[in-house]
Structure 1
């Protein structure tokens, strides 16, 4: 038992150091450098080195007690900064997935609605072009058929907009939403109702893979939270602006990749293991499809509350 607690405490300390302290300490170092150099001498490395040497000779840090207090202050400040980045990361994740964008306050909700309409128009045009090329490829005369690479190019352009017809203002949000759209279309199931029950029958290794994919998505959003923290530093130190912009680009790219991986795993787990859930529900064995999906949903859905007769 003692060994288990020791290993657990070591893992927690490692995660605390990796996720909070080290990125927070880097942020504090950048903030201190920006405060020391300012806009006029933003890249003056010699001035920064002189300021560090001068601070190291200060009487407050020359003693052991002063060094301990300084280290504790740095660790505490780094941890608080890391927690702030994680809080902002949760906001970035909510915006990136945009599950409840219809309830966004004005003017964000109106801007998101216009963006969704633009994405839908672009997707409709690309989809119509793809369907035309698909029909032309089946023309009776080979001379009338277009090159397959044209159809693949249009399909790629369509998927760059959204995997299914856009319903959210972001690609990542639409990628997650596409799971519900596809499963409702192909198997007549409601993912929100199905998923908690399916999770309980999934094998441990699959749940682990899904959990790790979800953690990658969260870390990508936290990187966007760090970008939001670095951006205000540009007010007195301009190199913080390109640093924040770089973090935004990396976070956006990772969010897109992570949401695609997470959505793929979710959809694959439903399609591969819904028959296992049906077996647990003692339903007649049948292949994945609308009959099975309808039977599972009838078993899982709660009946509508009975209304009392009027007296």
Structure 2
């Protein structure tokens, strides 16, 4: 369902190589140079700008030499390798944020129960009930938000989001894909931002200011990820709400109520499945078996 859509979209992080990986690699390369320059002076002088300037001036003459060119090439190669690592880490961050792991759910169970209580208390104060299928059950808030899209679409229309989404995507006007893609890019950028925290943290033994930089990236990335995930889920639901009637007409499902109900949704799902879930053929033994 939504997990399959997210897996496909997660692979598109690599498509944004320049914006998500190369551009952040420039300040990281500068940080590596500063860490290398300040490491011999210890933590006390880590923020001594005068010392940093003198240190860089001392080694600035080697930039145009063969040794400097070799060092520059090694630095460029190291940053490229780091960017490749960050790309893989961003996918790991995405999998972590979806919160589907049973082990992670067991570890985060207190947080899950707290979110359930908050949802139930809000419903009680508002005078309405929350279906059990809508309550939090994944390890993270972002994972619950993604899972909720599946549940809401299935409850309202009786269709599988993963099955109807590729068809709905082809029915959209030019504006809708841009909105959905922008929301996804916001979320994907957040996973990359958190992934960049690890290389910065790895530099902290040599230059301690990179540690607060890493912590800042994690906090900002988590906040940005929540906003991006929420916007993405809202745009996906809106796309289903707007275009599902049109899809019903295209596949030949009549709408006697002028809207898609669960019954029509099941019919749409059956058509799109293309016989993948046909009933088993009856055998002679089944025909002779008395009905209960």
Q: Return the TM-score normalized by structure 1.
A: 0.73
Deviation at 1:16, TM superposition (A): 5.9
Deviation at 1:77, TM superposition (A): 3.6
State the match for 1:55 in structure 2: 59
Residues 56-135 of structure 1 aligned to structure 2 (within 5 Å):
56-58=60-62, 61-63=63-65, 72-98=73-99, 100-102=100-102, 109=103, 111-115=104-108, 117-135=109-127
Change (3 A) 1:128 1:17: closer
State the match for 2:172 in structure 1: 202
Residues 179-204 of structure 1, C-alpha deviation per residue, up to 9 Å, x if partnerless?
A: 00111111111212222232222223
Q: Secondary structure at the match of 2:171?
A: coil
CA contact (8 A) 2:169 2:177 kept: yes
The partner residue of 2:135 within 155, 160, 165 is 165
Change (3 A) 1:86 1:168: same
CA contact (8 A) 2:98 2:142 kept: yes
Q: In the aligned structure 2, how far is the partner of 1:21 from the partner of 1:190?
A: 37
State the match for 2:271 in structure 1: 299
State the match for 1:254 in structure 2: 224
State the match for 2:9 in structure 1: none
State the match for 2:187 in structure 1: 217
Q: In the aligned structure 2, how far is the partner of 1:62 from the partner of 1:131?
A: 68
CA contact (8 A) 1:186 1:290 kept: yes
The partner residue of 2:48 within 44, 50, 53 is 44
| More displaced stretch, 119-128 vs 212-221 | 119-128
CA contact (8 A) 1:214 1:262 kept: yes
Query: Number of paired residues?
Result: 260
Q: CA-atom RMSD, angstroms?
A: 3.0
Q: In the aligned structure 1, how far is the partner of 2:166 from the partner of 2:22?
A: 35
Deviation at 1:18, TM superposition (A): 4.5
Q: Residue 284 in 1 paired to residue 277 in 2?
A: no
Change (3 A) 1:34 1:219: same
Q: Return the TM-score normalized by structure 2.
A: 0.78
**Which segments of 5 or more consecutive residues in structure 2 lack a partner in the other structure?**
1-15, 284-292
Q: In the aligned structure 2, how far is the partner of 1:52 from the partner of 1:308?
A: 82
**Which segments of 5 or more consecutive residues in structure 1 lack a partner in the other structure?**
1-14, 103-108, 136-150
Deviation at 1:67, TM superposition (A): 6.5
Q: In the aligned structure 2, how far is the partner of 1:169 from the partner of 1:245?
A: 21
Change (3 A) 1:124 1:112: closer
